Structure 1
């Protein structure tokens, strides 16, 4: 019987862990198609998450493993840590809050067993129950990145997926410090099929994600998988440089021909200065984001630091 390694990032999820494990155990027994091994990754939690994981591993040492970070490194680091350790025939990535339906896993397994696909992902059909503002910007992000990047991401795609070891090996080889898993899953290629499902609420606890964290995550995705913002900054700079030269020529000609007072056109000149200044700051900001990412990469710091593992 084939084994599935399940990677489960956890950050302050003390209420969800046992509920998740029970739901997965029930699913496995009903399916009776595969074995499961769990790699729970404690991402520097400040509650009882680590203690619960230790107890769970002690009770089910044959299938439950854990990795505990020295501090909070983020979900992307937790995913990479799990991918590094997972040795099963197939590898799954799931959230512990059960927003990723366990009952989809047998279908994912069957699809991979047919051999046509290397990965089976999940995509939400709707965003029912989600903050409307978050939903709007999320949809806008997918629309934007798919227009400006060659790496296409399915709208509503979740990290929840089942992959072959061949695909996981490819992902494991990508050791960049700034990580955006949705983009990485797509960039490595391999044939992927997406299964739609309806949005679900968390079973317990509260999410650690907020609007600004999601916004920063989206910026990381854009910077990691397209250089188009740099091209846009170049185009804007070129356009306004040309516009400035034309404006200077027009102003000089009007001054020579009409002998206009220096006070005339003051308001329009201020507007132009503010506009060009704003565009310059925007372009500098875009450049700064890329330089900042390069700065973090060239340090070659570890993606995560393990405090305990079993």
Structure 2
């Protein structure tokens, strides 16, 4: 009998948990020859999420398990903790808000068992119901990162996917502190098939992913899987240097041709100084981003700390 581990990160999801479990159970119970275990990961929630998980665990102690962090470490840490805890032959990552349709589980299992795939993922073909500006930024992120990175990330791809034990072990072998799972899932390789679906609204609660948080998450993804920003800093510095040399030559020639010419252009000079200074700060900031990530990795801090586990 195959065993399926279902990993569910949770942050302030007290309303969604009681709806999620029966909805998923209704689907998996119809899959023949499959035993399931659930690993809910409470990512330092400030509401009643932990008590809800305790209740579900008490009702299904052999099937439902949970991990509770000492504080909020982020969704990436929650995913990693769930993958480490999962014991199944196949592992699924799902959001608790049911934006990841449970009815796909049966099709995923059928494909991964019969079609020689290592992973079956999902991809949203639209973002109906989301803010247009947020959707625009998301689309541009995929356009940019796929142009500057050697790791291809499928546009609209979700974390919602079913993976073989071999692929999960490969993902766990990457011990990096700053994690970007969408990129990691692609980087490890393995044969993957994507199922398309239309955007689904949350069943309860509100999302914690603001536009600013998504933007920072996208920047982390670019820093993790591309060195293009460092190349940009080099090119900006080179351009600024060449432009300054041309400017100096121009000033010298002008002085030789017109010895009596007076100094002019204070405003433009100040603008140029500010421009060059800004470029320098930008390049230092880009380099600092990468140095900072190396610094955090060198500390060897744990990706998460568990306070309670059942």
Q: TM-score range by the shorter chain?
A: over 0.9
Q: Deviations over 1:161-186 (max 9, x none)?
A: 00000000001111111000000000
Question: Bigger shift: 33-42 or 177-186?
Answer: 33-42
Q: Provide, for residues 95-114 of structure 1, a one-character-per-residue CA deviation record: whole Å limited to 9, x for no partner.
A: 00000000011111111001
| Residue of structure 2 equivalent to 1:46 | 46
Aligned to 2:262: 261
TM-score between the two structures when normalised by the length of structure 2: 0.97
Q: TM-score, normalised by structure 1?
A: 0.97
Per-residue deviation, 1:260: 1.9
Residues 251-291 of structure 1 deviation map (CA, whole Å, 9 limit, x = unaligned): 121122113211x2323322322222221111111111111
Structure 2 gaps, min length 5 = none
- Structure 1 regions of 5+ residues with no counterpart? none
Structure 2 counterpart of 1:77: 77
| Partner-residue secondary structure (3-state), 1:102 | coil
Q: What secondary structure is seen at the aligned counterpart in 1 of 2:68?
A: strand
Q: Secondary structure at the match of 2:300?
A: coil
1:57 equivalent to 2:61? Answer no
Give SS of 1:190's match.
coil
**Distance in 2, Cα, partners of 1:183 & 1:282:** 25
Residue deviations 1:131-167 (CA, integer Å, cap 9, x gap): 1111111111000000000011000000000000000
Segments of 4+ in structure 1 off by > 4 A?
A: none
1:226-248 CA deviation, whole Å, 9 max, x = no partner?
A: 11110110011011101101111
Query: Helix, strand or coil for the counterpart of 1:116?
Result: coil
Correspondence for 1:28: 28
Matched, 1:309 2:298: no
Structure 1 segment 160-175 matched on structure 2, within 5 A: 160-175=160-175
| Paired residues, number | 309
How far 1:115 moved relative to its partner? 4.4
User: What residue number does 1:100 align with?
Assistant: 100
CA positional deviation for 1:35: 2.0
Separation (CA, whole Å) in 1 of partners of 2:261 and 2:178: 55
